[in-house]
Amino acid sequence: MKIGISGTGCYIPSQITENDDFSENEFLNSDGTPFKHSNEIIIQKFKSITGIGRRRYVDDNLNTSDIAYLASEKAIEDAGIDKEELDYIIFAHNFGDVSHGKSQGDTLPSLATRVKHHLKIKNPKCVAYDMLFGCPGWIEGVIQANAFIKSGIAKKCLVIGAETLSRVVDSHDRDSMIYSDGAGATIVQSKENGGEILAHASATHANGEAYYLFFGGSYKIETEEDRRYIKMYGRKIYEFALTHVPSAMKECLLESGVGINGVKKIFIHQANEKMDEAIVKRFYELFNMETPEGIMPMNIHEMGNSSVATIPTLFDMVRKGNLENQSIQKGDVVIFASVGAGMNVNAIVYRV
């Protein structure tokens, strides 16, 4: 029996925020000093580097667990399974439920438990737990689901990646323009004629790299509000990603036994267009090849960076023909790869 993805679903928030919507923000340096450039120039440079033109935010009445539930319903329906047959619900996120206007993340009970509650699953042996693994969380959840099924303790798992990053960003930080909201869900199970996880690789680099992404105060130093936001050392992350992600992808591909020419698509965490392009270029250079045209589907231009939700959302869109000029067919070999807080890196070689 092959272990693979039998169903996918995603939730794309309805609120669209354009780059120009940040034109009145008071952007500051990390030491609280103002930038020399105007917001117009800051936004132009941001667009040229990240590729992001707009992003999606959830409605005020929705939270991370809510949109995860909506994506999960679609994945369950797409897989054609009975939700009561689920053995595990693995929910990858980073900040819990952060209600609109609030600053505190809520993870009691776990978001996976909340999804199970929303789905009205009665089976107590359906185990629900959360995973904190940075942006690579959804891939790591799929790797764990694969292990559970391979060991015989599970047959069907729901793996979710969801985030509402719009509620943990500092409006005085230019990086606030990167982040967005979204949810993607997948059913992982063993099937005779299904897809197949061929190989996977994971690593945590915490010897000096652990705090490249962290929770920190606002750049508006004189504020009296005691609140923390997602912060990052962008240049360090860029250099780290270019060093470690291509090698993880190569290691995974070699283990799979598939040749480099057999790879049809690379689904990489939608973090930054230039960084992703550089990662894929470096990956192919490891095989002394040029990057094939159209190998890397992207939705960051319209969706922004929704962390753990980017890959399952992107995969669902391509799988269902909802991304222009991108498609996959049964039997195609694809690579999933991600990098994020921890600093964590992982990859999966997957036959559709």
Residue 340, amino acid = G
Quick check: do 2-194 and 198-351 share a fold? yes
Res 51: pLDDT: 94
Q: What SS3 string covers the chain? A: CEEEEEEEEEECCCEEEEHHHHCCCCCECCCCCECCCCHHHHHHHHHHHHCCCEEEECCCCCCHHHHHHHHHHHHHHHHCCCHHHCCEEEEECCCCECCCCCCCCECCCCHHHHHHHHHCCCCCCCEEEEECCCCCHHHHHHHHHHHHHHHCCCCEEEEEEEEEHHHCCCCCCHHHHCECEEEEEEEEEEECCCCEEEEEEEEECCCCCCCCEEEECCCCCCCCCCCCEEEECHHHHHHHHHHHHHHHHHHHHHHHCCCHHHEEEEEECCCCHHHHHHHHHHHHHCCCCCCCCCCCCCCHHHHCECHHHHHHHHHHHHHCCCCCCCCCCCCCEEEEEEEECCCEEEEEEEEC
pTM score: 0.95
All structural domains of the chain with their residue ranges: 2-194, 198-351
Residue 188: count of CB within 10 angstroms of its CB: 30
Q: What is the pLDDT along the chain (352 residues), one digit of tens a residue?
A: 799 999 999 999 999 999 999 999 999 998 889 888 899 999 999 999 999 999 999 999 999 999 999 999 999 999 999 999 999 999 999 999 999 988 789 999 999 999 999 999 999 999 999 999 999 999 999 999 999 999 999 999 999 999 999 999 999 999 999 999 999 999 999 988 889 999 999 999 999 999 999 999 888 887 667 788 999 998 999 999 999 999 999 999 999 999 999 999 999 999 999 999 999 999 999 999 999 999 999 999 999 999 999 999 999 999 999 998 899 999 999 999 999 999 999 999 999 9
Indicate the fold that domain 2-194 takes in CATH.
Peroxisomal Thiolase; Chain A, domain 1 (3.40.47)
- Region 198-351: CATH code: 3.40.47.10
Res 224: pLDDT: 63
The residue count of the chain comes to 352
How far is 112 from 77, CA to CA, in rounded Å? 18
6 and 188 in contact (C-beta within 8 Å)? yes
Res 239: pLDDT: 95
